[in-house]
Chains A and B, each alone.
Chain A
């Protein structure tokens, strides 16, 4: 068999690291089409259309300002409350949509996966890219508010750390994708995980400095708190744009490593499941 030129061999079981990333690149047009499909279905026949990108985070931020800022009077490290919550929210909403949208990959696409082959990873990747569109709009809105605060002189100090933003976003996407596909791989067998996701992500938000700054946390819990991979991302993002809080390089690196590990595990688990999931789903 070895002397023949076979372009592909369909085997019962593949090696642990047999992941065909090149193939995903060949299907890049499909990723794009999926993004377009998501966009079309999401906003067809809604009155406000893409305006929902803005309304949702704006209302959440206002509510946070009201509840956590005005009623609970949590510290914001001196930054304007509205901007403080908006910064955290923008990053968090992206992260949570990445997780929730990718966590149902196998179950929502079961029919199409059962009919035709294409690299399954294209679906979660396209979900993450689709979420990036809404993030972009929300981020632009955040920048507009930021500029307003800067020009009215309220002590907001954007600094050069801003340049690291693309990296932070990439990391957020990677983390969301990684966790999402791990969950989606497990939900092919255990459906109850899907219910856990929405709930878990909500709890996770409170373990991340979204409605309060890192400086509020002290003592033994702090180490555990900082090991949450989202903490350094949010904190760095806020420092870059608002100049409040602190930057801790070490935790940022740890968070980066965690992201890579989660993605690695996710991709391996996902590629193992995708071969036979049609028989178990």
Chain B
């Protein structure tokens, strides 16, 4: 219990839906006067009964969470799950409706970089201004100013008004200030979404240092699973204002992604959304997995499936290609038919396919399905393109890699055939 720095105790946040009041004093007085006389409210929409004040929305409903010192806690969840609301309450921008949050140490928030930058002031002046807004004293900034300027890579322009800065420089300077805060707890909301890749990596490295070496606590919200994976050592998944998962980062991401795409044996492809840029000469209708009861595959197993599709023309030169993606949507590899499939115009075709997944490491995967033709120059004309046609999970059967726990982050997604010892 010693090292718990944030304790969120059953926190609720309620928002009122629709407009609040009439917006003007006169409208509110009108409504009030009408109610006093027992008349109908002149500012209410016809048909809606009573006062609309009852329509509410629970952005957070009963959050309980303890964060320990040195935790780098990632927070993931779909849009509207309550991530930002949680950070807003933590950074005291708005108050919770119910429940308390106990905090040990100073909280600084980086909800959006460059908040409070003044365009007319120079970079140096803005460092002081932004530092002060974030809670640094002047002496603190004085002590760190050289470090900040160096980190921001803007030394050359530091005495130029920031309105002459490029957007990249602006962001770099803003992040540099926030990164040098002394507070024990840092709250960040997708701040790394901007800046070039080199700088993004630098920021992630800095944040990692902050937590690992200086033993500070970081709360980080992002939709970017890769940065979450790179930075965090613990992760919670929010859904509809509740914490639905709390624990290991990899498991949390798997859990979150699993929530998105449910696996099934029969997949209706006709109603799936198509990716753009293909010539519709045929349409895939349905995809069924054969000889299986669930979508868990051992590494030695092969996936056998049948696709129903309907050509709009006579077809004799079309191939089938599948792209396998890991559950965080990073691509793993491609497999394609060597021989073309044939069909006559108008009749529904059934094509049976089988493919080998023995090189895939354990984990969840998506499959994109393409029908295509090779043009004369080795290029591709897609005739149908279905993103995430189905998904499956590979379980480790221990034949290739000794039942190792697979670190997708470091090892990629492929297991090659085992190394043989010759002597």
A37-B118, A113-B93, A116-B116 known; A192-B104 Cβ under 8 A = no
**A166 CB within 8 Å of chain B:** no
Residues of A within 8 A of B138 (CB): 29, 32
B 87-101 to A, binary, CB cutoff 8 A, 1 in contact else 0 = 011111111111111
Is the Cβ of B102 less than 8 Å from the Cβ of A1?
A: yes
| Interface residue from A6, A276, A278 paired with B103 (Cβ < 8 Å) | A6
Most buried by A among B15, B120, B132: B132
A30-B132, A40-B125 known; A117-B92 Cβ under 8 A = yes
Is the Cβ of A192 less than 8 Å from the Cβ of B93?
A: no
A 100-124 to B, binary, CB cutoff 8 A, 1 in contact else 0 = 0000000000011111111000000
**A73 CB within 8 Å of chain B:** no
Is the Cβ of A12 less than 8 Å from the Cβ of B21?
A: no
Stretch of B24-32, B150-158, B253-261, B364-372 that contacts chain A = B24-32
Residues of A within 8 A of B20 (CB): 189, 280
Q: How far is the CB of B82 from chain A (nearest CB, A)?
A: 14
| Interface residue from A4, A10, A27 paired with B132 (Cβ < 8 Å) | A27
Q: How far is the CB of B105 from chain A (nearest CB, A)?
A: 6
**B65 CB within 8 Å of chain A:** no
- Chain A residue nearest to B28 in the complex (CB): A190
Is the Cβ of B129 less than 8 Å from the Cβ of A33?
A: yes
Is the Cβ of B95 less than 8 Å from the Cβ of A276?
A: yes
Residues of A within 8 A of B96 (CB): 10-12
Is the Cβ of A8 less than 8 Å from the Cβ of B103?
A: yes
Residues of A within 8 A of B78 (CB): none
Residues of B within 8 A of A189 (CB): 20-21
Residues of B within 8 A of A6 (CB): 7, 102-104
Q: How far, in angstroms, from A128 to B132 measured CA to CA in the complex? A: 18
A11-B100, A44-B120, A115-B112 known; A33-B132 Cβ under 8 A = yes
Within 8 A of A (CB), among B115-166: 115-116, 118, 120-121, 125, 128-129, 132-138, 161
**A222 CB within 8 Å of chain B:** no
Q: How far is the CB of B24 from chain A (nearest CB, A)?
A: 5
- Chain B residue nearest to A188 in the complex (CB): B20
Q: How far is the CB of A40 from chain B (nearest CB, A)?
A: 5
Q: How far, in angstroms, from A116 to B105 measured CA to CA in the complex? A: 17
A33-B128, A115-B93, A116-B134 known; A9-B111 Cβ under 8 A = no
Is the Cβ of A13 less than 8 Å from the Cβ of B25?
A: no
Most buried by A among B15, B20, B25, B91: B25
Residues of B within 8 A of A27 (CB): 132, 135
Residues of B within 8 A of A192 (CB): 24-26
- Chain A residue nearest to B97 in the complex (CB): A12
| Interface residue from B23, B92, B105 paired with A7 (Cβ < 8 Å) | B105
Residues of A within 8 A of B121 (CB): 36-37, 40-41
Number of interface residues, chain B, beta carbon within 8 A: 51
Residues of A within 8 A of B422 (CB): none
Is the Cβ of B109 less than 8 Å from the Cβ of A7?
A: no
Is the Cβ of B135 less than 8 Å from the Cβ of A118?
A: yes
B 1-44 to A, binary, CB cutoff 8 A, 1 in contact else 0 = 10010010000000110001101111010000000000000000
Q: How far, in angstroms, from A63 to B374 measured CA to CA in the complex? A: 86
Is the Cβ of A112 less than 8 Å from the Cβ of B116?
A: yes
Is the Cβ of A9 less than 8 Å from the Cβ of B100?
A: yes
Is the Cβ of A279 less than 8 Å from the Cβ of B94?
A: yes
- Chain A residue nearest to B96 in the complex (CB): A12
| Interface residue from B7, B25, B137 paired with A193 (Cβ < 8 Å) | B25
Q: How far is the CB of A38 from chain B (nearest CB, A)?
A: 9
- Chain B residue nearest to A277 in the complex (CB): B94
- Chain A residue nearest to B137 in the complex (CB): A29
Residues of A within 8 A of B102 (CB): 1, 4, 6, 8-10
Q: How far is the CB of A195 from chain B (nearest CB, A)?
A: 10
Q: How far, in angstroms, from A192 to B106 measured CA to CA in the complex? A: 38
Residues of B within 8 A of A33 (CB): 128-129, 132-133
- Chain B residue nearest to A45 in the complex (CB): B120
Residues of B within 8 A of A30 (CB): 132-133
Q: How far, in angstroms, from A188 to B129 measured CA to CA in the complex? A: 25
Q: How far is the CB of B334 from chain A (nearest CB, A)?
A: 44
A116-B93, A116-B109, A117-B91 known; A10-B120 Cβ under 8 A = no
Q: How far is the CB of A45 from chain B (nearest CB, A)?
A: 8
Within 8 A of B (CB), among A188-213: 189-193
Q: How far is the CB of B318 from chain A (nearest CB, A)?
A: 53
**A22 CB within 8 Å of chain B:** no
A 22-58 to B, binary, CB cutoff 8 A, 1 in contact else 0 = 0000110110111011001100110000000000000
Is the Cβ of A9 less than 8 Å from the Cβ of B101?
A: yes
Is the Cβ of B25 less than 8 Å from the Cβ of A118?
A: no
Residues of A within 8 A of B104 (CB): 4-7
Q: How far, in angstroms, from A46 to B23 measured CA to CA in the complex? A: 37
Residues of B within 8 A of A11 (CB): 95-96, 100
Is the Cβ of A115 less than 8 Å from the Cβ of B92?
A: no
Residues of A within 8 A of B98 (CB): 12
Q: How far, in angstroms, from A8 to B120 measured CA to CA in the complex? A: 36
Residues of A within 8 A of B24 (CB): 190-192
Q: How far, in angstroms, from A117 to B90 measured CA to CA in the complex? A: 10
Residues of B within 8 A of A12 (CB): 95-100
- Chain A residue nearest to B178 in the complex (CB): A116
Residues of A within 8 A of B105 (CB): 7
| Chain A contacts to B: CB under 8 angstroms | 1, 4-13, 26-27, 29-30, 32-34, 36-37, 40-41, 44-45, 111-118, 189-193, 275-276, 278-280
17 residue pairs of the A-B complex, CB under 8 angstroms, read A6-B104, A10-B101, A10-B103, A11-B96, A12-B95, A27-B132, A33-B129, A33-B132, A37-B121, A41-B120, A45-B120, A112-B116, A116-B111, A117-B91, A117-B93, A193-B25, A278-B93
| Chain B contacts to A: CB under 8 angstroms | 1, 4, 7, 15-16, 20-21, 23-26, 28, 88-107, 109, 111-112, 115-116, 118, 120-121, 125, 128-129, 132-138, 161
Q: What are the 6 tightest A-B residue pairs by CB atom distance, in nearest-first order?
A: A117-B92, A30-B132, A10-B101, A190-B25, A115-B115, A275-B95
Known: A117-B91, A190-B28. 7 other contacts (CB 8 A): A9-B100, A33-B133, A37-B118, A112-B115, A116-B134, A189-B21, A279-B16
